[in-house]
Amino acid sequence: MNGLEEMLLELKDTSEFMVDLAYSSLIYDNEEIAQEVIFLADTMEELSARIQDTVIEIGMNKPEEIARIVVATRLQTSIMSIAEAAKSIADVVLRGLGKHPVIAMSIKESETTISLAKVTDDSVLCGKTFGEARLSTQCGMFVIAVKRNREYIFGPGKTMMIEAGDILIAKGPEDGVSCFKDLADGTDKELSF
Amino acid sequence: MADSDDYASLDHVEMTVRELLTEMKDTSEVIVDLAYAALMYNSEDMAEKVNELEKEMDDLKFAIRFKVLMSSRTKEDAKQLSGLLQVASAADKISDSAADIVDLLDLPLERRPFVSAMLYESDEKIRTTRIRPESSIIGYTIGKLGIEASTGCRIIALKNRQGWIYDPEDDVKIRAGDDIIVRGTEDGYKQLVEYATGRKPWEFPEISEDDEVTPQEEAASINDAEEEDG
């Protein structure tokens, strides 16, 4: 894949992540998660501007690529509008309007939930790779992203090392959440294999 | 006052606000997956389902507005319900975007060469697998298996002898030879393939879905089970 496609893909993946996070912020009426959505919306704006520059560049130099440009631009517009929708959901939480019990109840009916957990110094996960930690086997939670120093790493690979201070964002059944949080904050020191 | 005729002219008005919002949220998630899958597999059928869901979403949106406005009595009601309506609008906006995405199928395939390859590389994978006769999940419904809860993979479409079912309900049974299109992490997909091919027997969730237990109780009972194992 070349630059344009890579950027578009990142835009797409981020937009879906934003929707997941936005709905989660509603379930827990959690401003911190809602803030993450807003933060991601800003990174989306930057990325979107870069995509536009690239597309213009391609268009000026290679007019034969016009079909690629049209498709990329149309996809970009749709993706950005999904991101805006996610932002407007997070906005509900930030305005304090997400407290109606029906909201949390409706959103919670789905099978999976998103959970965030910060890895502490004394966590058993610290210094292990995702392959070694096997969080999906341990707790049924699938790590979809890691936040490290304000940077998001989506879809961390098996060989990626977990460090203290990492915020792990995982998707899974509600009953996997406590297991996941306990391992991350050092409450549970045993990995059962 | 709305007379009964006006009332009946709205679709879905028999649903509660809670049911409406649940439906809208779920649809907003699956419709985007379906839209990308339609592009990946160049499927007009899937695109049609996306358009159908999008129209459905419009009906749901009007129904929820109607019900919410009818139920607002006080300033506090209005404040909290405005948040709820905002969420409903956002879900609707997502479905509109999904419909825009499948409109790209109107372009001939050679005009959008990179899209399939690009989508194949997504973080959350859209993948297909076939249920082998040796699989232990055959004969069970999607809901009973709790496939999404166990593997993190959501079945967005299923093809059996009758044809394709998009966004299959929980009561759809898995049969040998079914093809399923799922969306999930690479890890979850690999697990699912193990089950689908029969290389690994399915492990049922310990708590049956029919039992009325709180998530706290569920979490506690699972922790207990783990202690016994250790």
Give the span between the Cα atoms of A143 and A170, in whole angstroms.
Answer: 4
- Under DSSP, is residue B10 helix (H, G, I), strand (E, B) or coil? coil
Domain that holds residue B67: 4-111
Are residues B34 and B73 both part of a single domain?
A: yes
Question: Above 50 in pLDDT, residue A149?
Answer: yes
Mean pLDDT score across all residues of chain A = 90
Angstroms from B16 CA to nearest CA on chain A: 10
- A19 CB neighbours in chain B (<8 A) are 28-29, 32, 94
What pLDDT was estimated at residue A151?
A: 83
Number of domains in chain B: 2
From B90, B111, B132, give the residue that closes a domain.
B111
End-to-end CA distance of chain A: 38
- A23 CB neighbours in chain B (<8 A) are 25
Calculate what percentage of chain B has a pLDDT beyond 90: 57
More confident residue, B120 or B4: B120
pTM of the model: 0.82
Give the residue from B15, B17, B25, B145 with the most A CB atoms within 10 Å of its CB, the best one to mutate.
Answer: B25
Q: Which of B101, B71, B99, B100 is nearest to B85 (CA)?
A: B71
Q: Which residue in the block uniquely carries the two structure tokens 């999976």?
A: A112
Cα B151 from chain centroid (whole Å): 14
- CB–CB of A155 and B185 under 8 A? yes
| Maximal C-alpha separation, chain A | 59
Domain membership of residue B149 (yes or no) is yes
Are residues B68 and B145 both part of a single domain?
A: no
Domain membership of residue B33 (yes or no) is yes
Domain spans of chain A, in order of start = 3-103, 111-185
From B55, B80, B111, give the residue that closes a domain.
B111
The β-bridge partners of B180 are B129, B158
> At B209, is the pLDDT very low, low, confident or very high (cuts 50, 70, 90)?
very low
Domain membership of residue B230 (yes or no) is no
- CB–CB of B152 and A99 under 8 A? no
Amino acid letter, B140: Y
Are residues B127 and B195 both part of a single domain?
A: yes
| CATH number, domain containing residue B12 | 1.20.58.220
Q: From the list B26, B111, B118, which residue is nearest A5 (CB)?
A: B118
Give the span between the Cα atoms of A107 and B87, in whole angstroms.
Answer: 10
Question: Above 80 in pLDDT, residue A25?
Answer: yes
A9-20 confidence digits (pLDDT tens): 999 999 999 999
Per-residue pLDDT, averaged over A169-181, amounts to 87
For A111-185, which CATH superfamily applies? Regulator of K+ conductance, C-terminal domain (3.30.70.1450)
> ipTM of the predicted structure?
0.84
> At B2, is the pLDDT very low, low, confident or very high (cuts 50, 70, 90)?
very low
Calculate what percentage of chain A has a pLDDT beyond 70: 97
- CB–CB of B29 and A19 under 8 A? yes
Give the span between the Cα atoms of B122 and B223, in whole angstroms.
Answer: 34
Domain membership of residue B213 (yes or no) is no
| CATH number, domain containing residue B132 | 3.30.70.1450
Give the residue from A5, A66, A80, A89 with the most B CB atoms within 10 Å of its CB, the best one to mutate.
Answer: A89
B49-68 confidence digits (pLDDT tens): 999 999 999 999 999 999 99
Question: Above 60 in pLDDT, residue B220?
Answer: no
For A3-103, which CATH superfamily applies? Phosphate transport system protein phou homolog 2; domain 2 (1.20.58.220)
Give the span between the Cα atoms of A25 and B198, in whole angstroms.
Answer: 38
What pLDDT was estimated at residue A111?
A: 67
Quick one: DSSP state of residue A120? Answer: P
Q: From the list B81, B187, B230, which residue is nearest A190 (CB)?
A: B230
Are residues B8 and B74 both part of a single domain?
A: yes
Are residues B128 and B186 both part of a single domain?
A: yes
- B93 CB neighbours in chain A (<8 A) are 81-82, 84-85, 88
The β-bridge partners of B128 are B181
CB-based contact, B37 to chain A, within 8 Å: no
Domain membership of residue B32 (yes or no) is yes
Tokens of A78: 């749709």
The β-bridge partners of A153 are A146
- Cβ burial A110-126 (10 Å sphere, 16+ → b, else e): bbbbbbbbebeeebbbb
- A103 CB neighbours in chain B (<8 A) are 21, 83-84, 87
Domain membership of residue B214 (yes or no) is no
- A100 CB neighbours in chain B (<8 A) are 80-81, 83-84
Domain membership of residue B90 (yes or no) is yes
- CB–CB of A16 and B94 under 8 A? no
With beta carbons less than 8 A apart as the criterion, state whether B191 and B151 touch: yes
Are residues B96 and B135 both part of a single domain?
A: no
Q: From the list B81, B97, B111, which residue is nearest A82 (CB)?
A: B97
CB-based contact, B179 to chain A, within 8 Å: no
